[in-house]
């Protein structure tokens, strides 16, 4: 047997950490929530034992699980998606399920085994650390094993491994007792299969609830209608020119909307601009009003990524929730990921019919001092803020509508990043009101504006929920 360089084991644990992080990110980017992703480096003793048993002549190339990863998913659907992601991203040397070749009395094992030897040349992910340990692993060893199974299959396999495969009592009992146990494991396998099928059925109901049978998928005509409406609103709200969709302006907007997420790279920001423009939105204001019609918090919960993602990914999710299948059709070919369209379809399953564009679409003003032309008319959050500021300023004077960094009589008092708009008052004076506001920030601002609005009867509603009022 060939001599093994033991110094490799000084860095193998680091390679295991790198591939674990890589796969967690890969799953998160595709909105596949795994129960667990864990990697380990085989110990020197275990490596030697395997080489001895198999009589390998070239251990570094022949042992393909020196580093191995196990991915456990909640459902068969997520397992198949994870398999497809790995097949698309890596050079796969082996791909099989050992359970498929087991005799009938040994049925039950259900786990996909893949041996990978590096990234595909077409993946262009940039995720593998140049000069890192994972890259070193692929140049030193013949392969890296990834096992993918469901939680139900994992429970069966762990119990079977403990009681039958490795169990000493099993070897000590009679042939008849072993036959009985084999039959019971077969019954457990049938139960495991039924459990997997039940989990898939549960996911299907969650993805398509009976209360929302009508699809929210939008036609191209509907997408264009929303874009035109966004442009008209932008053009009629004030004398300022719309803010163009450029990496710098979009970066400011995303920082305000998703302050707790990661800033994207320069290439990522250009990709974000391409996404927005592909939706027919030609200004930051049009984008803001479009996204104000969905519940961003609900989108975040439904996507449920297990690792941190960039602000561009959050934008991608919200645009997908807003425009649905039209977004998939119009942006599926963008970016460097060859399977983006398929990935979007998977992600759309998570938000389809769940982010109500009626429930969260708009705000309504009411009260005796609400002008008739605004009464119960749906308003996006930013527009509602401007109307509330205008009514407070006209009724109580512009100074009473002042809110630091958000509403002022002087544009110079507000930062350029707020993209303030001028609101004309009936007395010829005006207010400048920030437009770069999230839905939550807009609601907080409306509450502050109405807190001290003496003698004004005004309220703001959102789907029968009172957001703010003077009473």
Encode pLDDT of 314-362 as tens digits: 999 999 999 988 999 999 888 877 678 888 888 888 887 666 544 445 7
Angle between helical axes of 12-29 and 133-140 (0-180°, round to 10) = 110
Q: Where in the chain is the domain with CATH 3.30.460.10?
A: 6-204
Q: What is the reported pLDDT for 237? A: 44
Identify which of 297, 232, 228, 262 has the alpha carbon closest to the alpha carbon of residue 443.
297
**Delimiting residues of CATH 1.20.1380 domain(s) in the chain:** 364-469
Q: Could you tell me the pLDDT band of residue 229, with boundaries at 50, 70 and 90?
A: very low
Selected residue with higher pLDDT from 378 and 448 = 448
User: What pLDDT is recorded for position 298?
Assistant: 83
Reply yes or no on whether the pLDDT at 393 is more than 70.
yes
405-439: per-residue pLDDT in tens?
Answer: 899 999 889 887 777 889 999 888 999 998 877 77
Domain 6-204: CATH superfamily is Beta Polymerase, domain 2 (3.30.460.10)
| Residue 123 scores a pLDDT above 70 | no
In this structure, what token pair is assigned to residue 391? Answer: 């009514």
Rounded Cα gap, residues 77 and 374, in angstroms: 48
pLDDT, tens digit, for every residue of 250-259? Answer: 999 999 899 8
- The mean pLDDT value of the chain amounts to 84
In percent, the amount of the chain with pLDDT more than 90 equals: 40
Average pLDDT over residues 67-92: 93
Give Cβ neighbours of residue 217 (< 8 Å, ≥ 6 apart).
324, 325, 326, 352
Tens digit of each residue's pLDDT (9 = 90 or more) over 249-294: 999 999 989 988 889 888 899 999 999 999 999 899 899 888 887 8
pLDDT in tens, 126-165: 788 778 999 999 999 999 999 999 999 999 989 988 888 7
Hey, CA dihedral for 232, 233, 236, 239, is it positive or negative? negative
CB of 31 closer than 8 Å to CB of 133: no
Check pLDDT > 50 for residue 391. Answer: yes
CATH topology of domain 364-469: Replication modulator SeqA, C-terminal DNA-binding domain (1.20.1380)
Mean pLDDT of 374-382: 79
What is residue 409's predicted lDDT score, i.e. its pLDDT? 92
pLDDT band at 308 (very low <50, low <70, confident <90, very high): confident
Question: Rounded to two decimals, what is the model's pTM?
Answer: 0.58
pLDDT of 233 > 50? The answer is no
> Picking from 79-93, 95-109, 205-219, 351-365, which range would have the lowest pLDDT averaged per residue?
205-219
Task: Count other Cβ atoms within 10 Å, centred on residue 197.
Answer: 13
pLDDT at res. 211: 46
Q: Which region among 52-66, 219-233, 349-363, 383-397 has the lowest average model confidence (pLDDT)?
A: 219-233
pLDDT, tens digit, for every residue of 181-224? 888 988 888 888 899 899 988 887 776 665 443 333 333 444 44
Query: Residues 243, 247, 248, 251: is their CA dihedral positive or negative?
Result: positive
């Amino acid at each position: 047997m060939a001599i093994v360089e033991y110094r490799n084991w000084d860095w193998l644990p680091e390679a295991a950490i790198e591939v674990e992080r890589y796969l967690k990110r890969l799953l998160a980017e595709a909105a596949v929530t795994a129960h667990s992703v864990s990697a380990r480096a085989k110990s020197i003793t275990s490596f030697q034992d395997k080489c001895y048993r198999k009589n390998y002549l070239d251990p570094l190339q022949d042992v393909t699980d020196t580093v191995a990863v196990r991915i456990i998913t909640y459902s068969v659907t997520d397992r198949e998606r994870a398999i497809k992601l790995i097949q698309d991203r890596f050079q796969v040397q082996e791909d099989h399920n050992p359970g498929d070749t087991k005799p009938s009395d040994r049925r039950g094992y259900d786990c996909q085994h893949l041996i990978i030897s590096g990234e595909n040349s077409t993946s262009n992910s940039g995720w593998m650390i140049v000069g890192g340990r994972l890259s070193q692993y692929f140049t030193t060893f013949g392969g890296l094993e990834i096992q993918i199974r469901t939680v139900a299959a994992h429970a069966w396999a762990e119990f079977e491994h403990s009681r039958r495969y490795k169990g000493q009592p099993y070897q000590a009992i009679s042939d008849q007792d072993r036959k009985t146990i084999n039959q019971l494991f077969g019954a457990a396998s049938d139960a495991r299969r039924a459990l997997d099928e039940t989990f898939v059925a549960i996911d299907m109901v969650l993805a398509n609830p009976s209360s929302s049978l009508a699809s929210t998928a939008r036609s191209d005509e509907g997408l264009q209608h929303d874009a035109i409406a966004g442009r008209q609103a932008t053009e009629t709200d004030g004398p300022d020119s719309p803010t163009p969709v450029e990496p710098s302006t979009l970066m400011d907007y995303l920082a305000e909307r998703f302050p707790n997420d990661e800033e994207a790279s320069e290439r990522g920001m250009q990709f974000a601009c391409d996404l927005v423009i592909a939706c027919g939105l030609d200004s930051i204001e049009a984008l803001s009003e479009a996204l104000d019609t969905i519940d961003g918090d609900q989108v975040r919960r439904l996507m449920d990524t297990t690792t941190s993602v960039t602000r561009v990914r959050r934008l991608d999710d919200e645009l997908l929730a807003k425009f649905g299948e039209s977004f998939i059709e119009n942006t599926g070919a963008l970016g460097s990921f060859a399977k983006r369209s398929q990935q979007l379809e998977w992600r759309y399953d998570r938000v389809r019919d769940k982010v109500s564009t009626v429930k969260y679409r708009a705000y309504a003003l009411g009260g005796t001092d609400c002008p008739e032309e605004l009464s119960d008319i749906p308003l996006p959050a930013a527009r509602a803020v401007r109307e509330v500021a205008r009514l407070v300023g006209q009724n109580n004077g512009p100074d009473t509508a002042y809110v630091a960094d958000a509403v002022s009589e002087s544009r110079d008092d507000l930062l350029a990043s707020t993209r303030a708009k001028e609101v004309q008052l009936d007395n010829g004076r005006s207010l400048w009101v920030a437009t770069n506001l999230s839905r939550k920030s807009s609601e907080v601002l409306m509450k502050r504006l109405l807190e001290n609005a003496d003698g004004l009867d005004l309220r703001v509603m959102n789907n029968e929920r009172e957001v703010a009022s003077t009473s």
